Chain A
């Protein structure tokens, strides 16, 4: 005998439930959680190193790193005096909320910023909420200005776009206005920053935005 059961359940619902718990736990403590997404090599870790230089003295931060293998990125962040945890997925192309939840008890509740550096990939990470308040997508100038429409979900679900490696723009056919236009057509609410970790271009604006976002979060719970 067979019987049919209507389930109507979101397949990633378990992930979303865990993500909501992470979000609530962090935001109650005034911790701004940021999920960084990009292709491999777009400059996520380098950007985090530069932000660590600017934030860590006045605004304690921590970093959760996601990679297929190695402890390399976490070591780079620790070298900046910032606590970092490496999650090696052993092949999985994205981080999931329960991986973050497992690390979270080790993260000090006294921090202001928790950065999550997702596995380098513009596809799979976009499907998994990690409890972040801000989803940041990075697009480096060598990748080409046509990426937003080729990988729409990453750009549709983000609140912030950072165009990185702007110091290379004079040598590349990357059109910043075209990339911005493509991204804003997908997602008109996107905040766009043009940054070079090497020369420091755009880092003041980005840091000011992150501090203001953290203030807004804290004010909401004050």
Chain B
């Protein structure tokens, strides 16, 4: 379970933003997670709950958006989306695929409480 280290990483960025904008705290955090990011959204939420106390994100809402996996078929050039990795192109059945999306682990936006 490396979700805690992922949380530590984005909370550090949020702390920087709070300082930069002279805000009091962060009230919401939006994150995008792909199926091949290596991060389980539920575990990310648990890790966030463990980590938040005493930080500027203590009262923040964490919104995790799951992004789809995308693959480009080198045979028929179709780009398809699915929930999980499957090794064949749903359009033509070829296994010669190039992963074009799904590894995302992105801090998308943050809501800050300012004076």
**Chain A residues with a Cβ under 8 A of chain B:** 1-12, 14-15, 92-94, 96, 123-124, 126-128, 149, 152-153, 156, 185-186, 188
Contacts and interface: CB of A to CB of B under 8 A. Distances in A.
Contacts of A123: 2, 38
Contacts, number: 91
A1, A5, A8: residue with the most chain B Cβ atoms closer than 10 Å: A5
A1 B115 contact: yes
* Chain B interface size, under 10 / 10 to 19 / 20 to 34 / 35 or more: 35 or more
B1 A124 contact: yes
A11 B38 contact: no
Majority secondary structure, B binding face: mixed
A9 B2 contact: no
Interface string B86-115: 011000000110010001011111111111
A124 to B, nearest CB: 4
Contact of B36 (A7, A12, A153, A188): A153
A12 B10 CA distance: 8
Contact of A7 (B9, B39, B109): B109
Contacts of A153: 36, 38, 103
A186 B95 CA distance: 8
Interface of B: 1-2, 5-6, 9-10, 12-13, 17, 21, 23, 27, 31, 36-39, 85, 87-88, 95-96, 99, 103, 105-115
A38 to B, nearest CB: 16
A1 B2 contact: no
- Counting from the closest, the 3 A-B pairs by CB-CB distance are A127-B38, A185-B87, A124-B2
Contacts of A7: 13, 17, 107-110
